[in-house]
Amino acid sequence: MDTFAQPKSRIFSYQCNNLFEYLLVATSNEEINEQVQAEKNSFFDTYGAIVSVKTKPYITVTKFLAKEAMEETIIRWMNRAIGTQPRFSVLLNNYGGFPPHTIYMKVQQQQPFKQLFDALQSVNHYVQSNDCPPMQLVTKPHLAIAKQLSLPVFNVAIQDYAKKSFSASFDIGELVLLRRQHEFDDCKQLTRFQLSTS
């Protein structure tokens, strides 16, 4: 069974500064969710990594720290910025890994995620003007199969997944804003943003 020790100093830092972690994510459709969940369950059955089955599948566009009092403004500005961006398709193709802790499905198209991040620069300036760190662009969009792995589990799994293949595509028409107290907390959904249909 995989175990993972939480860095309490980082959690303490979030709480002392009254900061929450926010994630803006894209979710797949029900059919893809079922395929991904089946892969997560298979990973758990094979490697005993419980985090793989506890988390819902999503692709992170950006993540940032902010104060709860800033939420209303952040949501209003995000809604305006995201509503101007077109819907797009995503192709998942095979597997990759972030040593030493994550196995993921590769997202082929990175440009739409970069365009979304660029559209959110007014939100980024607002976050920084309130003494919070800048928003982080996820430079390699992906859909995680398993996270928070120990190095021995990762080393075995990445060799196994290098031999596997997977391919699926789906459309993204909305983004979801999540909030948690720290990076090892369960996420709470705050709102959804619709992408433009024109």
- Report the distance separating Cα 38 and Cα 59, nearest Å: 17
Three-state DSSP state, 40: helix
- The pLDDT value recorded for residue 33 is 85
**Span 63-92, average pLDDT:** 94
The residue ranking higher by pLDDT, 4 or 157, is 157
**Span 81-107, average pLDDT:** 92
> Angle at Cα 59 formed by Cα 192 and Cα 119, nearest 5°?
60
* b/e 34-56 (16+ beta carbons within 10 angstroms → b): ebbeebbeebbeebebebbeeee
- The pLDDT value recorded for residue 148 is 84
Give the range among 12-26, 55-69, 130-144, 165-179 with minimum mean pLDDT.
12-26
- pTM score of the predicted model: 0.83
Asked whether residue 25 carries a pLDDT value surpassing 60, the answer given is: yes
Asked whether residue 64 carries a pLDDT value surpassing 90, the answer given is: yes
Asked whether residue 29 carries a pLDDT value surpassing 90, the answer given is: no
Mean pLDDT of the chain: 85
Domains of the chain: 8-194 (3.90.1140.10)
User: Which amino acid is located at 179 in the chain?
Assistant: R
Question: What digits encode the pLDDT tens for the residues 124-163?
Answer: 999 999 999 999 988 889 998 888 888 999 999 999 999 9
